């Protein structure tokens, strides 16, 4: 691997690079810097943000800029004002020891008069959003006759934002004979068209695989019931105490809703979407950048301008409709040589989308089990123990209390002391998880098989069925969906064939694949449904009643277990609600405080 010194960069730039702590060039820099220094023509670089592309074009650009000439010599176009400011800031850092080099960011939403004044003073490098630059060209403030380098950064994003016409218009203004560099995360027909129209035999560079997301990002997903999405999100956050991530939602309303819930549940989160004013968005972004926020809930559009390097997670609360958007989202983590993870909450109906994304990214996504309460408890506790380990104990004020405290605790040995401290913490924030039910991923085959009250499943299952009794019936709001969900919940992903279901008022019978009967009985017995203890056992033989009808009875021992009063009012309510939205299990409680 080459180092910066061997690349032909001048000492001033090398000094700046060293001060920035860049020890070795990143792959895109290794490829682009020598080509630009050798002035070897146009370049298309397929590279994600976070791969070091600003320095890749910025360092050689600064080296080749003539500080004596006060006309714009280089033009960098990018999609957002935030990126504009960031690129201009990075270039200013790179040019710290390069004499008087004026770099100006021009973008919409800020005073055009100030920008015109700055341009008049003389600027060598303009970093611009396309719309504002067109305005400035129109007013005669931006003169591009001396521009010899044009850089289109995040070209795919610019096209997504509808800047194609503006880009074409600007490129028409720049003299022929310039060199053009195009950076894009993905290659699309539109990008290829720009290359065809405005670039001269470009050298194509690909960092990582084409159209793939960053190398050091791993991709995984949780298969979830739509109703469990938010709960699963909380579990992800709780099982990663050091999480620093963006949660992507599809709409502004969803973004606001998820963020509000998280805030209400005590998480360090906020929302970023287009309904906020620019000032509000700036505040949220700044809070997130300096890590005052751990979780940012954002729409794709609003997050465009945000450039943060060390995200640990990208969470796709909803998968994007446009699969390429996924590449942008996941490319926000795993930057600058760090590893990152892109997690998606996927509903059964979205699995097709997921497959399309896997194809585009060329990686198989790992299906993850939803973190259990016990796993989360473990993670939170060890996180807390680590904090305890690293706690700074140099507070003079404590000293004077210590002798008395020590005396009070003298009776407790070390082990007992640890046990009590840990258990205090455990009780404080983990109560809900300790007692709450775990969330189970839906299993596709089983779910679809169960449609039509188990008949689908029955038709597909070739073995014998065994008939089981369950002490729940219609009065309990217990219908086929509830039975299926109960089975799903407590059999953790095993495919259990269910046959005919006979619902009675206060108890029911259902068929189950014979070889699963014992397993299911022990899985369901003593669990809770609507505050009732569930009891399941092998059904007794059917009997023929005096009126000639086949009758079935609940086992005698259950007859006295039903609470005396199961009033009509309550059962009606359950009947209505139970059918629509089955919520048989204990609700997850409030999030542990942090």
Residues that bind ligand AMP (CB under 6 A): 22, 24-26, 29, 49-55, 309, 335-336
Asked whether 213 and 297 are in contact (CB, 8 A), the reply is: no
CB of 307 to ligand AMP, least distance (A): 6
* Nearer to ligand AMP among residue 53 and residue 179 (C-beta): 53
Residue nearest to ligand AMP (CB): 54
> How far is 330 from 313, CA to CA, in rounded Å?
9
Question: Which residue, 336 or 405, has its beta carbon nearer to ligand AMP?
Answer: 336
Q: How far apart, in whole angstroms, are the C-alpha atoms of residue 80 and residue 301?
A: 10
Question: Phi-psi category of 529—alpha, beta or left, where left has phi over 0 and alpha has psi -120 to 50?
Answer: beta
Minimum Å gap between C-beta 56 and ligand AMP is 7
Shortest spacing between CB 106 and ligand AMP, in angstroms:
20
Alpha carbon distance 484, 391 (integer Å): 49
End-to-end CA, the chain: 45
* Minimum distance of ligand AMP from residue 207's CB (angstroms): 10
Distance in angstroms (rounded) separating the CA atoms of residues 480 and 484: 6
Query: Taking the complex as a whole, how short is the minimal distance between the CB of residue 25 and ligand AMP, in angstroms?
Result: 5
What lies within 8 Å, CB to CB, of 296 at 6+ separation is: 245, 246, 247, 269, 270, 271, 272, 284, 288, 303, 306
Please say which residue, 185 or 361, places its beta carbon nearer to ligand AMP: 185
Report the nearest approach of ligand AMP to the CB of residue 152 (Å). 15
Residue 356: CB atoms within 10 Å: 13
Pairwise CA distance, residues 41 & 35, whole Å: 8
H-helix or E-strand spanning residue 547: none
Which residue's CB is nearer to ligand AMP, number 25 or number 473?
25
Half-sphere exposure (Cβ direction) of 89: Cα atoms closer than 13 Å? 8
Beta strand 245-248 pairing with 295-298: parallel
Q: Select 4 or 461, whichever has its Cβ closest to ligand AMP.
A: 4
Burial class (CB in 10 A: 0-12, 13-18, 19+), 70: middle
What's the min distance (Å) between Cβ of 309 and ligand AMP? Answer: 5
Give the DSSP letter of residue 516: G
Structure token pair of residue 201: 């035999």
In the complex, least distance from residue 20 CB atom to ligand AMP, rounded to whole angstroms: 6
Nearer to ligand AMP, 32 or 223 (CB): 32
Give 318's DSSP letter.
S
Q: Which is nearer to ligand AMP, 244 or 585 (CB)?
A: 244
Q: Closer to ligand AMP at the Cβ: 50 or 245?
A: 50
Minimum separation from the CB atom of position 143 to ligand AMP (A): 28
- Cβ nearer to ligand AMP, comparing 49 with 342: 49
């Amino acid at each position: 691997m080459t180092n910066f010194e061997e690349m032909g960069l001048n000492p001033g730039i090398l000094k700046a690079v060293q001060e920035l702590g860049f020890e070795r060039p990143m792959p895109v820099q290794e490829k682009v810097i020598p080509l630009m220094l050798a002035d070897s023509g146009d370049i298309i670089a397929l590279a994600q943000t976070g791969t070091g592309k600003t320095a890749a074009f910025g360092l050689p650009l600064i080296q080749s800029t003539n500080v004596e000439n006060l006309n714009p010599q280089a033009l960098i176009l990018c999609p957002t004002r935030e990126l504009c400011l960031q690129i201009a800031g990075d270039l200013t850092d790179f040019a710290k020891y390069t004499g008087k080099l004026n770099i100006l960011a021009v973008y919409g939403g800020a005073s055009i008069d100030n920008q015109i004044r700055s341009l008049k003073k003389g600027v060598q490098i303009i970093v611009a959003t396309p719309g504002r630059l067109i305005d400035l060209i129109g007013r005669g403030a931006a003169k591009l006759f001396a521009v010899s380098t044009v850089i289109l950064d995040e070209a795919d994003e610019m096209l997504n934002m509808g800047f194609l016409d503006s880009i074409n218009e600007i490129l028409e203004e720049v003299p022929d004979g310039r060199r053009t560099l195009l950076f894009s995360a993905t290659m699309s027909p539109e990008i290829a068209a720009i290359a065809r129209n405005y670039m001269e035999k470009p050298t194509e560079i690909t960092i990582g695989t084409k159209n793939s997301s960053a190398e050091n990002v791993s991709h995984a997903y949780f298969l979830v019931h739509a109703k469990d999405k938010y709960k699963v999100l909380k579990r992800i956050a709780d099982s990663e105490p050091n999480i620093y991530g963006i949660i992507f939602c599809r709409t502004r309303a969803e973004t606001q809703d998820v963020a509000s819930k998280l805030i209400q549940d005590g998480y360090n989160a906020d929302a970023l979407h287009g309904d906020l004013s620019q000032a509000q968005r700036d505040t949220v972004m700044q809070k997130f950048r300096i890590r005052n926020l751990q979780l940012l809930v954002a729409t794709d559009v609003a997050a465009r301008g945000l450039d943060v390097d060390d995200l640990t997670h990208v969470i796709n609360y909803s998968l994007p409709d446009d699969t390429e958007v996924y590449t942008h989202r996941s490319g926000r983590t795993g930057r600058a040589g760090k590893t990152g993870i892109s997690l998606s909450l996927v509903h059964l109906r979205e699995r097709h989308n997921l497959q399309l994304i896997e194809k585009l990214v060329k990686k198989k996504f790992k299906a993850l089990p939803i973190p259990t309460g016990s796993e989360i408890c473990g993670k939170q506790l060890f996180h807390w123990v680590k904090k305890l380990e690293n706690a700074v104990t140099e507070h003079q004020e404590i000293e004077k209390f210590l002798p008395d405290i020590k005396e009070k605790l003298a009776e407790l040995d070390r082990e007992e002391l640890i046990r009590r401290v840990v258990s205090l913490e455990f009780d404080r924030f983990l109560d809900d998880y300790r007692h709450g039910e775990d969330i189970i991923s839906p299993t596709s085959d089983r779910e679809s098989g169960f449609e039509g009250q188990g008949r689908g499943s029955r038709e597909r299952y070739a073995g014998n069925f065994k008939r089981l009794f369950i002490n729940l019936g219609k009065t309990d709001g217990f219908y086929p969906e509830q039975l299926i969900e109960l089975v799903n919940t407590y059999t953790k992903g095993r495919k259990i064939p269910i046959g005919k279901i006979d619902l009675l008022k206060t108890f029911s019978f259902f068929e189950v694949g014979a070889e699963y009967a014992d397993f299911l009985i022990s899985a369901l017995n003593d669990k809770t449904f609507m505050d009732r203890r569930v009891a399941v056992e092998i059904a007794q033989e059917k009997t023929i009643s005096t009126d000639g009808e086949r009758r079935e009875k609940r086992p005698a021992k259950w007859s006295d277990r039903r609470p005396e009063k199961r009033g009509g009012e309550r059962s009606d309510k359950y009947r209505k609600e139970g059918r629509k939205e089955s919520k048989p299990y204990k609700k997850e409680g409030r999030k542990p405080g942090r």
